Structure 1
Amino acid sequence: MSRRSVDYGLALLVAFVGGAVLVFWPHASDTPPPDTPAEQEAPAEEAEPSEEEAEPPVEPPEEPEPEGPVVDASGDPVSFMPPGDLTPGSGSGQTEQINYAPQMRFPLEAGQAYANSQVYGHGGYLGPGGGQCDAANYAYAWRDNFCETRSYSAPLCPSGTGHQGQDIRPATCQDAVHWAVAADDGVITSVGSYSVRLMSETGVRYTYLHLERDSLQVEPGDTVNKGERLGFVSNEFGGTPTTIHLHFEIKMALETPHGLQNVNVPPYVALVDSYQQLLSEGESDHG
């Protein structure tokens, strides 16, 4: 073989090896440079809490148990007829009533009483017969008798005249046993043979009729506190006995169709509210 043939063969071999190197050597961009940091590992997913570690489910709030009926001192549930709903045949009541004395205390000491008509109830001269101690007179529901047919001036009554207050029987049909008490802080302005008048610090006048004269604890000019005893409920009526009950009035300056007047206002709503408050708070907490 000639030298020229050998050189030519070597040249071909070198060219072949060089081409192979270019084909099989990895591309520069496929290899990270020596100082390039390795890719960071992805953070591991947080494990789901186990049943023991999971927070307990939030329990829905318990529904408050419905309150039972309001009961009086004897445990009987109380109830009330609507304002202005008078005994049938006894007149037209004032149905649009508000609480004219929201601060007042119930005017009887004990938390058991029955508001209803004396004249049109059992034992009354226009009643259905029977005696004043009939059980029907000492049972709920209460009944309004402001505006009941009378000849007394009553500008807030539909007829302009009528009964000027509310009749309230005490817990039992017993004379001179049950205390009437001050409905508000104030001054005693007058004491009659069977009446007491109390003027509050805000100018509201409360009238109590049919109190036993010998039991009265106050005199004109006395300052009294809410809940203070005034006298026993009786049947006194200026020498003419009536039924055993408290006649209770509220009088104040009020704007009427005829201008500003000092008038008797319906006491029924104030009595209902103060009675329920007395029963819910307890006698000792209510003055």
Structure 2
Amino acid sequence: MTTARAVNNRRTASGNFWCCFLYLASLSVTSLSFGLLAQPARAGEFRTPSISLVRPDWSAAVNQLKTEIDSQPLAVDNFSFTGGRRPSRQFSARRITAVSQINTVTSPIFSGIELSPVPVLLPFDGALYLADRRSGAVNLLIPRYQAGFRAASMFEAGPSGYDAVFLLDHGADGNMPSRVYSQPVEVQITASLLIYDIRDPLAGKGEPVKSLATQFPNLRRVIREGYVRYAFTRFGVPYVVSIQCLDSVARSKRLSCREASPVAERFIKALRIAGGTPRDPRYNIASYASERPIAYDADFTYRPPGEIIANSGYRGQGGHQDFTVYSQIRFPIEKAPAFANSQSFLNWGDCNLTGRVSFAPTKGDPYRCKRNDKQLVFDESAKENYSYPWQDNFCETRDFEVGQCANGMGHQGQDIRPSTCHLRNDGADRCIPDLFPVVAVREGVLIRSPKQQAAFLLVNTRNEHVRFRYMHMNPARLDADGVIYGRRVTEGERIGVVSNFQDRPGGTTNHLHFDVQVFTRDGWLWVNPYVTLISSYERLVGGRGREYIQPPPEAPAMAHAQPRADLPPNAVTEGGGR
């Protein structure tokens, strides 16, 4: 017995040893694997964005659709509901028959609506529309079913969600407060599976909307980055309705946010289920190191992200250091070289109206901005303007809200000059505009109304929901070239030329302003495009750029004290020194 017990004890000890050994080994392997898969970002490493995904509750959407359809008895027979049985987590469009049926009704009006993986909410009363159609009504005018809003200026659904733009004409908004603004009001709505994980100190702020609290309990109103926004979550999905406006006094040609708000609330009150298609659940998208060329380009250099010209930030703030490549884009100017830098705080710049010293508007005359000691010349063609290294100016001083900048104000994007400056004659100090083509950075859909100075490019793919804005191209030329709502473009397709339009031709230097917006629970927000542009430029030139570090100023030469000529070499001076 003793021998048997001893053997068993040895076996137990041996077993415990190997169990412990294997357990520790597994921990080591797990730790190693985790280290390989989840390494923290190295300093200065370009990375893709981190994106969270939501999971729509389609059963709740179907329940709401049933309530809406039941309000019109003539429409009920066109729909087949599941009788309240909760569908499984994974399903196809056929599992929820009513959703495909509403797609059939609305797809002739909103083309591609079935492509949306989230329930599509639009100010369209599909039940009333179908009831009128079944009753034999003719001339079914869309504004009747859209609370007075025009037919959608743009509707785009894709693998990540949907975006739409509607207009409400002046005078079409009966039973609403009178409006000073005389132009149609543009309302945008976006819903997305994808939420970009950015550091946003203002996220989730806003005030409740009492008049809509019953219909949308978590609805909040906030004015951010030039838009009044109404954000809410429905069916587990973030929706944001927004109108571009100024938080100021109303004018006939300038929409105030106070006048915009009743229009947005009218829009939200009219929202109904209009379509979509359930998809299999998806998972969050982790950030990873962005690919870059291995070989270095011989010429391309850039200053670090966030390093703006000294004291050029709003109230002295610095730049926003962001190493994120938000999208793998094609560079927005067709050909290299191109030069990303400041327009206001470099040569010929107006220092953003913060004051200039020794300024005389004569070509070649020196001056500087009051904010710093950087020496400038009054010549847009100055060599420094058209030279490397690049420099970030995302948080340069402007009167624009930018949540990513330290004081909440900044430039919103990045300025880019084309390859060279052509002058009309030797005495000219301005560059000739409209010579260098601008191209679509991705395949997508344009968002722009006629006469607008800005053009947006919307990209909606499985792993991206992002917008790019182009500015300072001539609006008349954009109109003539068909750069308007809903036009589909391919990557690299020409959409304009670099120009100098800002409220008028010649209102700024000859450059392209380019920026990036990503979707969040507060809607579309500006993010620093600088590293995204560096990455795209490296692909354009076929080589990696070198980060340029400003060399420290040279130390002044040491002045060695010499003995006074009237004293002997061994004299003791005051203080006891020799």
User: Quick one: which of 531, 537, 541 aligns to 1:275?
Assistant: 537
CA distance in 2, matches of 1:132, 1:145: 18
Instruction: Check the 8 A contact 1:193/1:238 in 2, yes or no.
Output: no
Distance 1:112 1:215, change over 3 A: farther
- Residue in 1 that maps onto 2:397: 149
CA distance in 2, matches of 1:129, 1:159: 30
Task: State yes or no: 1:223 paired with 2:482.
Answer: no
What SS is found at the alignment partner of 1:78?
strand
Task: Give how far 1:129 is off.
Answer: 3.2
Letter in 2 for 1:183: V
Task: Give how far 1:249 is off.
Answer: 0.9
Structure 1 or 2: more strand by fraction: 2
User: Quick one: which of 209, 232, 250 aligns to 2:471?
Assistant: 209
Task: Give how far 1:96 is off.
Answer: 3.4
Task: State yes or no: 1:184 paired with 2:184.
Answer: no
Task: Give how far 1:194 is off.
Answer: 3.1
Structure 1 or 2: more helix by fraction: 2
Q: Deviations over 1:152-198 (max 9, x none)?
A: 11001111111100000011123100011101111111144432111
Distance 1:261 1:97, change over 3 A: farther
CA distance in 2, matches of 1:268, 1:194: 22
What SS is found at the alignment partner of 1:219?
coil
Q: Deviations over 1:195-222 (max 9, x none)?
A: 2111112331111001133443322210
CA distance in 1, matches of 2:465, 2:471: 19
Task: Give how far 1:262 is off.
Answer: 2.0
Letter in 2 for 1:186: G
User: Quick one: which of 455, 458, 465 aligns to 1:196?
Assistant: 455
- Residue in 1 that maps onto 2:406: 158
Instruction: Check the 8 A contact 1:108/1:179 in 2, yes or no.
Output: yes
CA distance in 2, matches of 1:169, 1:193: 22
CA distance in 2, matches of 1:183, 1:237: 22
Question: Which structure 2 residues correspond to residues 123-142 of structure 1 after superposition, within 5 A?
Answer: 123-126=348-351, 128-142=376-390
**Structure 1 unmatched runs, 5+:** 1-66, 72-76, 282-287
- Residue in 2 that maps onto 1:94: 320
CA distance in 1, matches of 2:499, 2:455: 13
User: Quick one: which of 495, 509, 521 aligns to 1:243?
Assistant: 509
Task: Give how far 1:100 is off.
Answer: 1.3
CA distance in 2, matches of 1:189, 1:261: 16
User: Quick one: which of 98, 118, 126 aligns to 2:343?
Assistant: 118
What SS is found at the alignment partner of 1:184?
coil
Instruction: Check the 8 A contact 1:215/1:232 in 2, yes or no.
Output: no
Q: Between 89-98 and 136-145, report the one with greater CA deviation.
A: 89-98
CA distance in 2, matches of 1:203, 1:187: 12
Letter in 1 for 2:320: Q
CA distance in 2, matches of 1:260, 1:220: 23
CA distance in 2, matches of 1:154, 1:219: 26
CA distance in 2, matches of 1:200, 1:68: 30
Task: Give how far 1:252 is off.
Answer: 1.1
Instruction: Check the 8 A contact 1:104/1:274 in 2, yes or no.
Output: yes
Instruction: Check the 8 A contact 1:115/1:169 in 2, yes or no.
Output: yes
Instruction: Check the 8 A contact 2:517/2:526 in 1, yes or no.
Output: yes
What SS is found at the alignment partner of 1:203?
strand
CA distance in 2, matches of 1:266, 1:114: 17
Task: Give how far 1:149 is off.
Answer: 1.2
CA distance in 2, matches of 1:276, 1:108: 13
- Residue in 2 that maps onto 1:78: 300
User: Quick one: which of 413, 433, 457 aligns to 1:175?
Assistant: 433
CA distance in 1, matches of 2:331, 2:448: 20
Task: Give how far 1:97 is off.
Answer: 3.1
Q: Deviations over 1:230-266 (max 9, x none)?
A: 1011111111610000000101113xxxx64421000
Count of aligned pairs: 205
Letter in 2 for 1:184: R
**Cα RMSD (Å):** 1.8
Letter in 1 for 2:494: R
Q: Between 186-195 and 176-185, report the one with greater CA deviation.
A: 186-195
Task: Give how far 1:130 is off.
Answer: 1.7
TM-score of the aligned structures, taking structure 2 as reference length: 0.34
Task: Give how far 1:146 is off.
Answer: 0.2
What SS is found at the alignment partner of 2:319?
coil
CA distance in 2, matches of 1:69, 1:186: 31
What SS is found at the alignment partner of 1:272?
helix
Instruction: Check the 8 A contact 2:331/2:441 in 1, yes or no.
Output: yes
Q: Between 261-270 and 211-220, report the one with greater CA deviation.
A: 211-220
CA distance in 1, matches of 2:417, 2:507: 15
CA distance in 2, matches of 1:212, 1:170: 16
CA distance in 1, matches of 2:296, 2:300: 7
Q: Which has the higher contact order (CA 8 A, sep 6+)?
A: 1
Instruction: Check the 8 A contact 2:322/2:528 in 1, yes or no.
Output: no
User: Quick one: which of 245, 250, 253 aligns to 2:519?
Assistant: 253
Letter in 2 for 1:251: Q
Letter in 2 for 1:252: V
Letter in 2 for 1:163: H
Distance 1:82 1:172, change over 3 A: same
Task: Give how far 1:150 is off.
Answer: 1.4
